[in-house]
């Protein structure tokens, strides 16, 4: 018992919590961008997975070649490719739900299935295995000296400023709450929604690249439900970037504590401890923690005709 | 006005999504050099064609897992070259695709169809009844309450992983300098518990006051596919003082090896020889000879000596063991190997009873 409590007050524990939190937080920030504009984003899971895949491929391939005497940095390549991969799959999602106004829940689930199948298929084509990539270059340093971590911190601050302190953010929130009013004021509703969805793809895609870089490789379905946890964090943080990040930190903390509980075999059944993040999610969804008010036009396609 | 458009795109989305699922099966077929539909790839068999067709469906993780599935693959390829059988493999995605793949292979006229992994138990039992002329084999078959209900065309292949894990535990218990060792499991189920129980008993046998840190990645099938979680569990155990970790967690184990590299500590592989996943840090691996068992089952079928029911493979049958070769001979001293071989003899002789739960 003493060992368990002692382990909670170490730098290693803080680092572990943050490592677990990063992909949640990036996906949740993406979720806020999209949902604030009025587009539900169940597809976060698929975007994470796609970002992990494109990130892993970029890290691996950039390590194989020299571009006209210049050696690309595989980690930077992975982060950029992760964001691009996320943007691509988010664009497909945007096309279906914004341009063609399909049901957002159904389309989101379809994107997740597509991402799971497509990454396996492409993996097989590229590396002759549907289950994992070859080893890729990954993070060499602890989290506090990892530039990608600080990039993520910057992204989180930027997301907050963008959504709450800029004209763009005001428009984003306006089309999510009162699209007709925004339209009357001369804002092109669907154009702003497109921006929200694409930003969501870029952010969650980087989260995927983080997953792959952390373990030096891509494994099929390695997002392992993190996109759904992030979605819960968006709701728990009442669609505000800073609170969504805080919720992610709480989930990360819960998972890290759960790992320590297992490590020191405290007599809590591990089925129970593993349920903790999900129980928190359900309590939030049931509305027991404050009132979480969604953007008013969330899930409603906007027809300008 | 947008209605037909919307409908078209919905159809397209579904078509694209299903195409993604379909295609990976096609890719699986393309990959089997002697697949009946793809004569454009050169057929490798050196032996004369036996005319026997073997189908095999992989577990979660699929081919390339450098572990359980790859071991099955080796057995299959071995049978292809040595016995001249025609092989076809399928890597299913999630859930119902497993059943569909089995059914498809059975319907396509294969003589023997393998399901690799305990998850196949229910589906393969049902499908064996539907296709009485086809023979089925299930690796890690879960024994039903009444074993006499196993269909006459189905063989359940089981391993005594706890015996192999006992030897691994003994090695870990001898090697550890800090009297603390770790275990990382995938999904918490009786099958993986066998690995843990055998390992714990092995550690305690050689080092009664050693401490064993133990953790599982999850409670669903995803727990075998979550390397990031495996890495955090392993880092936590290394930071908690252990200097050797044994994993039984499929691809989640990739994270364990990555943690071992980072901490410069020992990790122990499972199912296949996993030395090459992390050459710096793999002490040894618990071998589960799925390859040998798959090959032997095919060989028996080719010879017309297929037997149904349950078959168990432990130390006595060479079904499990540990890796000791050129790669790790400077990591395990002769003294250690002698001690472990002594334990093997005792287990085979029944002097040591290894617990499995």
- Please give the domain boundaries of chain A with CATH numbers for all domains: 2-64+72-285 (1.10.3470)
Give the tens place of pLDDT for each residue, A24-39: 999 999 999 999 999 9
Is pLDDT of A136 > 70?
yes
B63 contacts chain A (CB < 8 A):
yes
Question: How many beta-carbon pairs below 8 A join chains A and B?
Answer: 155
Among the partner-chain residues A96, A128, A262, the one whose CB lies closest to the CB of B9 is A96
Is pLDDT of A181 > 60?
yes
- pLDDT, position B145: 82
Give the tens place of pLDDT for each residue, A263-277: 887 767 767 766 776
Low-confidence ranges of chain B (pLDDT < 70): 1-49, 93-96
- CA dist., res. B49 & res. B82, Å (int): 10
Give the 3-state secondary structure percentages of chain A, helix then strand then coil, rounded to 5: 70, 0, 25
Question: Once rounded to an integer, what is the mean pLDDT over residues A1-19?
Answer: 90
- CA dist., res. A184 & res. B26, Å (int): 52
- What is the residue-wise DSSP string for B10-74? HHHHHHHHHHHHHHHHHHHHHHSTT-TT-TTSPP---SPP---EEEEE--TT-TT-SSHHHHHHH
Inter-chain residue contact A124 with B31, CB threshold 8 Å = yes
Task: State percent of chain A over pLDDT 90.
Answer: 71
Question: Once rounded to an integer, what is the mean pLDDT over residues A135-147?
Answer: 92
- pLDDT, position B64: 74
- CA dist., res. A279 & res. A244, Å (int): 17
Inter-chain residue contact A129 with B62, CB threshold 8 Å = yes
- pLDDT, position B36: 36
Q: Which residues contact A38 (CB under 8 A, 6 or more apart)?
A: A175, A176, A177, A179, A193, A196, A295, A297, A298, A299, A300, A302
> Are residues B116 and B72 in contact, defined by beta-carbon separation less than 8 angstroms?
yes
Average pLDDT for chain A: 91
CB count in 10 Å sphere of residue A269 = 10
C-alpha distance from A129 to closest chain B C-alpha (Å): 5
How many C-alpha atoms does B4 have within 13 Å on its Cβ side? Answer: 1
CB count in 10 Å sphere of residue B10 = 17
> Which residue in chain A has the smallest CA separation from B251?
A219
Inter-chain residue contact B27 with A262, CB threshold 8 Å = no
Inter-chain residue contact B236 with A263, CB threshold 8 Å = yes
A122 contacts chain B (CB < 8 A):
no
- CA dist., res. A88 & res. A202, Å (int): 9
Task: State percent of chain A over pLDDT 70.
Answer: 94
B14 contacts chain A (CB < 8 A):
yes
Q: Which of the residues A131, A226, A227 would you substitute to probe the B interface, choosing the one with the greatest number of B C-beta atoms within 10 Å?
A: A131
| Helical packing angle, B161-175 and B190-206, nearest 10° | 40
Tokens 């969805």 locate to: A197
Among the partner-chain residues B5, B16, B236, the one whose CB lies closest to the CB of A114 is B16
Please, is A106 exposed, middle or buried when counting C-beta atoms within 10 Å of its C-beta (0-12, 13-18, 19+)? middle
- pLDDT, position B31: 37
> Are residues A112 and A45 in contact, defined by beta-carbon separation less than 8 angstroms?
yes
Give the 3-state secondary structure percentages of chain B, helix then strand then coil, rounded to 5: 45, 20, 35
Inter-chain residue contact A121 with B17, CB threshold 8 Å = no
Inter-chain residue contact A214 with B231, CB threshold 8 Å = yes
- CA dist., res. B69 & res. A301, Å (int): 45
> Which residue in chain B has the smallest CA separation from A215?
B255
pTM here is 0.86
In this prediction the ipTM stands at 0.91
Strand partners, B218: B187
Strand partners, B309: B155
CA quadruple A172, A178, A179, A183: dihedral sign: negative
Using a CB-CB distance cutoff of 8 angstroms, which residues of chain B are in contact with residue A132? Answer: 64-65, 251, 254
Coil vs helix vs strand at B86: strand
Inter-chain residue contact B10 with A264, CB threshold 8 Å = no
- pLDDT, position B34: 36
Give the tens place of pLDDT for each residue, A213-254: 999 999 989 999 899 999 989 988 889 999 999 999 998 998
Coil vs helix vs strand at B339: helix
Buried b / exposed e over B272-308, threshold 16 CB at 10 Å, is bbbbebbeebbbbbbbbbbbbbbbbbbebbbeeebeb
Inter-chain residue contact A110 with B14, CB threshold 8 Å = yes
- Contacts for A157-160: CB closer than 8 Å, 24+ residues apart: A159/A29, A159/A32, A159/A33, A159/A203, A159/A241, A160/A241, A160/A242
Q: What is the CA radius of gyration of chain B?
A: 22
Is pLDDT of A259 > 80?
yes
Among the partner-chain residues B93, B216, B225, the one whose CB lies closest to the CB of A224 is B225
Using a CB-CB distance cutoff of 8 angstroms, which residues of chain B are in contact with residue A20? Answer: 228, 232
- Higher local confidence (pLDDT), A283 or B246: B246
- pLDDT, position B144: 83
Is pLDDT of A293 > 90?
no
Domains, chain B, ordered by start: 45-159+291-313 (3.40.50.2300), 161-288+324-348 (3.40.50.2300)
Write the Ramachandran bin of B28: left for phi over 0, alpha for psi from -120 to 50, otherwise beta. alpha
Give the tens place of pLDDT for each residue, B63-101: 777 778 889 999 999 999 999 999 999 988 666 688 899
Inter-chain residue contact A224 with B20, CB threshold 8 Å = no
Inter-chain residue contact B63 with A129, CB threshold 8 Å = yes
Tallying the residues shown for chain A, one arrives at 305
Within the 220-259 window of chain A, which residues sit less than 8 Å (CB to CB) from chain B?
220-222, 224-225, 255-256, 259
Among the partner-chain residues B17, B64, B232, the one whose CB lies closest to the CB of A16 is B232
- What is the residue-wise DSSP string for B145-213? SSGGGS-TTEEEEEE-HHHHHHHHHHHHHHH-SSSEEEEEEEE-SHHHHHHHHHHHHHHHHH-TT-EEE
Q: Which of the residues A219, A226, A305 would you substitute to probe the B interface, choosing the one with the greatest number of B C-beta atoms within 10 Å?
A: A219
- pLDDT, position B44: 46
C-alpha distance from B233 to closest chain A C-alpha (Å): 6
- pLDDT, position B17: 45
């Amino acid at each position: 018992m003493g060992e368990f409590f002692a382990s909670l007050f170490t730098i290693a524990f803080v680092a572990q919590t943050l490592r677990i939190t990063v992909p949640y937080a990036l996906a949740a920030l993406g979720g806020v961008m999209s949902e604030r504009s009025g587009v539900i984003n169940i597809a976060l899971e698929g975007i994470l997975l796609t970002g992990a895949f494109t990130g892993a491929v970029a890290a691996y391939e950039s390590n194989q070649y020299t571009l006209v005497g210049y050696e690309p940095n595989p980690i930077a390549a992975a982060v950029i490719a992760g964001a691009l991969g996320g943007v691509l799959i988010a664009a497909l999602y945007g096309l279906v739900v914004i341009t063609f106004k399909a049901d957002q829940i159904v389309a989101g689930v379809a994107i997740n299935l597509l991402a799971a199948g497509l990454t396996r298929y492409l993996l097989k084509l590229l590396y002759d295995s549907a289950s994992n990539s070859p080893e890729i270059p990954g993070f060499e340093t602890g989290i506090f000296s990892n530039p990608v971590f600080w990039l993520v911190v910057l992204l989180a601050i930027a997301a907050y400023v963008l959504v709450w302190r800029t004209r763009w953010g005001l428009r984003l929130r306006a089309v999510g709450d009162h699209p007709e009013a925004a339209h009357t004021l001369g804002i092109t509703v669907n154009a702003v929604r497109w921006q929200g969805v694409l930003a969501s793809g870029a952010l969650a895609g980087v989260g995927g690249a983080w997953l792959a870089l952390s373990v030096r490789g891509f494994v099929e379905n390695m997002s392992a439900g993190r996109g759904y946890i992030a979605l819960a964090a968006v709701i728990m943080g009442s669609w505000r970037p800073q609170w969504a990040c805080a919720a992610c930190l709480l989930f990360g903390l819960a998972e890290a504590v759960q790992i320590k509980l297992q490590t020191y075999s405290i007599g809590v059944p591990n089925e129970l401890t593993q349920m903790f993040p999900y129980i928190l999610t359900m309590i939030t969804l049931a509305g027991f923690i404050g009132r979480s008010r969604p953007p008013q036009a969330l899930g409603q396609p906007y027809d300008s005709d | 006005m947008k209605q037909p458009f919307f409908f078209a795109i919905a159809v397209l989305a579904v078509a694209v999504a299903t195409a993604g699922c379909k295609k990976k099966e096609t890719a699986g077929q393309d990959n089997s050099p002697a697949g009946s539909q793809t004569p454009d790839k050169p057929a490798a068999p050196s032996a004369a064609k036996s005319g026997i067709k073997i189908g095999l469906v992989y577990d979660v993780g699929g081919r390339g897992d450098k572990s359980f599935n790859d071991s099955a693959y080796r057995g299959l390829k071995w049978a292809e070259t040595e016995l001249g059988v025609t092989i076809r493999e399928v890597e299913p995605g999630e859930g119902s695709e497993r059943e569909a793949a089995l059914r498809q292979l059975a319907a396509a006229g294969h003589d023997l169809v393998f399901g690799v992994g305990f998850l196949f138990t229910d589906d393969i039992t049902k499908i064996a009844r539907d296709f009485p002329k086809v023979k089925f084999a299930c690796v890690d078959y879960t024994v039903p309450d009444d074993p006499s209900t196993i269909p006459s065309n189905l063989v359940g292949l089981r391993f005594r992983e706890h015996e192999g894990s006992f030897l691994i535990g003994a090695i870990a218990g001898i090697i550890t300098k800090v009297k603390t060792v770790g275990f990382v499991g995938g999904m918490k189920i009786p099958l993986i518990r066998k690995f843990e129980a055998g390992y714990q008993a092995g550690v305690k046998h050689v080092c009664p006051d050693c401490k064993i840190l133990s953790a599982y990645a999850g409670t669903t099938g995803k727990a075998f596919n979550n390397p990031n979680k495996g890495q955090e569990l392993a880092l936590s155990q290394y930071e908690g003082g252990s200097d050797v970790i044994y994993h039984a967690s499929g691809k989640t184990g990739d994270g364990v090896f990555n943690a071992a590299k980072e901490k410069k500590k020992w990790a122990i592989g499972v199912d296949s020889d996993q030395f090459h996943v992390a050459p710096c840090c793999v002490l040894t691996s618990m071998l589960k000879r799925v390859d040998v068992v798959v090959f032997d089952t095919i060989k028996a079928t080719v010879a017309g000596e297929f037997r149904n029911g349950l078959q168990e493979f432990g130390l006595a049958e060479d079904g499990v063991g540990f890796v000791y070769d050129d790669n790790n001979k400077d990591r395990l001293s002769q003294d250690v190997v002698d001690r472990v071989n002594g334990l093997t003899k005792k287990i085979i002789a029944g002097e040591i009873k290894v617990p499995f739960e």
